Structure formats: structure tokens, C-alpha cells
Amino acid sequence: MRNLIAEEYSALTRPYEKCEAFGPSSLTDAELLAVIIRTGRKGQSAVSLAEAVLALPPGGSGLTGLLRMSAQELRQIPGIGRIKALELMCIGELSKRMSAYRAHRALSLDSPSSIADYYMEQLRHDTQENVICMMADARGHVIGDEVITRGTVNASLLSTRDLFMTAMKYHAVTIVLIHNHPSGDPTPSEADHIITRKAVCAGQLLDIKVCDHIIIGDCCYVSFLEAGFLDAME
């Protein structure tokens, strides 16, 4: 009887059996990853290997850190080869897309928070600044978005010409600028104010309204519209 109980307990400490018995919500972060990793290596279980992944810099902060890791960084861990590294990266990308899909249903040009939610997972983990132009038609329906420029950790150079050429390609009537601050602090810089002012002025000449400029930080954002910064530019 004692051996039977021990066997049942051992089975329920393995991720697959634990998930089957109690559901995926019962699994720890390491156990969830272990299900994806499937196998460990000699002398190391899949769960132990998953714990090593979650502890590896520049991750070091659990599942969220995994989204910032490259395949090369993942392969530094003994037991994580090419295929496992790619699988883990795909899991991270899948989580971003699922988050964006949920947020898309609430997306509204009248709601800066809904726009920030939509782009949050895509941008908040990025180590470079990216400027995205989101475009809408005359009825306020979002008709597309494009990355206008990719910058460095410290700055992002935005071409007003490229911005409005993209908007005109989509026949947009209104646009919203979105970009991230890799530091995690969304406080607008002087350069952000200058870029926005140039875009607003150019848009007035082309009859394309700049509705907002939203800066994404780490789980936070600043909207030029909400902050009242656009009032002085129009």
C-alpha cells in the first residue's frame, strides 16, 4: 500500500500527470515549460531544465524574461539545442499573438488604453525603439498598421515623409503613432514632442489627422491625447 501511494504521488509530481489530474492551472511556470521541452538530459529532468531556462539572464524573471531571449542565449543552457530553443521562442511569440488577438476586439481610436493594450505585449519586451503607424478610415475603422522605423536602444529616427507615404498608401484619414521606450519608462522625451509636432503639422497640410502618439513602457503607457499635449500642437 505504501509503495502504491508513493507511486501515485510520484506520478502526480510529473507535469503531464499533474495536468491531467488537476488541469494546466495547477502547473508551475517551470512545469508548464517542461511540458513543452518534453525531455531533460542525463541526470536532469525536464522540470529542472525548465527552471534553468527561467533563471537564465537576460530572462531571470520567469516567463516574462523568456520573451526577451534569443535562440543563441537559450542554447547556452546544456540540454537546450536548436529545436528546443526554437520551440521556446515560438511559445513566446504565440503568447504575444494571443494577447494581441484578445486586445484587438476592444480596439478603438477613441480609447488610448485599448490601443496601448493591443501593442503592449508586442513592444514592451523589445530592446530597440520601434515606431508604428496605425491607420483608420473616415468611419474610424482600423485599416492597417506598419512599422515605420526601427531604432536603437537610445533613439529612433522617424521620417515624416515615410510616415505619410504609408498613410496615403492605405488611404488613411486618421493615424496614431505608437512607439516603445526600451527603458520601460514611457515618459515622452523632447525628441518625442518634436516628432509629434512635425507629424501633426504635416498631417494638417495633407488632411490626415494625427489622433494620438502613444508611448509604450513596461506595462504602462503615455498618451499625448490623454495628457493634453496635442492641444498645443493643433
What structural domains does the chain harbor? 2-99 (no CATH), 107-233 (3.40.140.10)
Is 154 a residue whose pLDDT tops 70?
A: no
pLDDT at 155 over 70: no
- Phi, psi angle pair for 30, to nearest 5°: -65, -40
- Cα–Cα dist 212/198, whole Å: 13
Residue 45 cell numbers, joined: 529532468
Q: What span, in angstroms and rounded, lies between the C-alpha atoms of 70 and 143?
A: 32
Nearest to 133 by CA among 178, 165, 168, 96: 178
Q: Are 12 and 18 in contact (CB under 8 A)?
A: yes
pLDDT on residue 3: 42
> Residue 171 has what pLDDT?
94
CB 153 within 8 Å of CB 129 = yes
State the Cα–Cα distance between residues 116 and 21, nearest whole angstrom: 38
Instruction: Quote the pLDDT of residue 8.
Output: 38
Q: Which residue has the higher pLDDT, 168 or 60?
A: 168
